[in-house]
Amino acid sequence: MRWQHPDRGRIPPLQFLPAAEETDLMNDIGAWVLQASCTQMAAWQAEGLPSLKLAVNVSPRHFAHPELLAMVSHALAASGLSPAALELEIPESLLVRDAAQTLDTMQQLRHLGVRLAVVDVGIGYSSVNYLPHFPLSTLKIDNSFIRYIADDIGNTSAVHSIIEQGHRQGLIVVAECVETPAQLQILREHACDQYQGYLISHPLPADQCREMLSVAGNR
């Protein structure tokens, strides 16, 4: 998501989403992103592009919104996207801070058929042994571990531990913000399932992303 400001140009999300998170504006932004993303993914599927999983980040404020389930249901129904193609990404902090309420909401989302991922894994928490209590499909290792994985043996050890624990609990493990071949090589050596980041591509407008997906599908 980018804010195209008339004077300052394109503003990245880290410069405006923290302010939005402090207000009800975050709920409006979250609902728009969810609807726009589902609509775009459904359009790509209709064009016959490669089958993909759409991952949409849900902020703590948006996740706690009483109409979240209705927003997700509406986005899927209006776009025609299969619930199985949608994965909602939830910050790890929610799982330990508001465990009971978070679990209830997650169970309702899973009942819709939506997949769930926990993101920012490793920040401030020494273990992920609590994860089996939640209906998760995916675990994403925070980029702060990946950034220095090729230079810091401590980071490498931590990443290996998170991958092992995730696999032990039957989760798909994804590394965020992979930028170099050296980082990717280490992740492969430690059996990380998937990765995302600039090594694949920088963020792209929808038309350019469609072109990249089309090329990938023809390989």
pLDDT: which is higher, 218 or 75 = 75
Is residue 125 predicted with pLDDT exceeding 70? no
Query: Can you list the alpha helix ranges (DSSP code H) found in the chain?
Result: 17-21, 25-46, 60-63, 68-79, 92-97, 99-112, 143-146, 153-168, 181-189, 206-217
Average pLDDT over residues 148-165: 87
Q: What percent of the chain has pLDDT over 90?
A: 59
Mean pLDDT for all residues in the chain: 90
What is d(CA 184, CA 149) in angstroms, rounded to the nearest whole number?
Answer: 10
Q: Could you read off the pLDDT of 29-68 as tens digits, one per residue?
A: 999 999 999 999 999 999 998 888 999 999 888 898 999 9
Is residue 7 predicted with pLDDT exceeding 70? yes
Estimate to the nearest angstrom the gap between the alpha carbon of 85 and the chain centroid.
Answer: 13
Note the pLDDT of residue 41.
96
Average pLDDT over residues 16-22: 86
- Max distance between CA atoms of the chain, in angstroms, equals 50
Is residue 219 predicted with pLDDT exceeding 70? no
Report whether 94 contacts 121 (CB < 8 A).
Answer: no
Average pLDDT over residues 11-39: 89
Domain boundaries, the chain: 1-118, 137-219
CATH code of the region 1-118: 3.20.20.450
Note the pLDDT of residue 17.
87
pTM over 0.85: yes
Average pLDDT over residues 105-134: 84
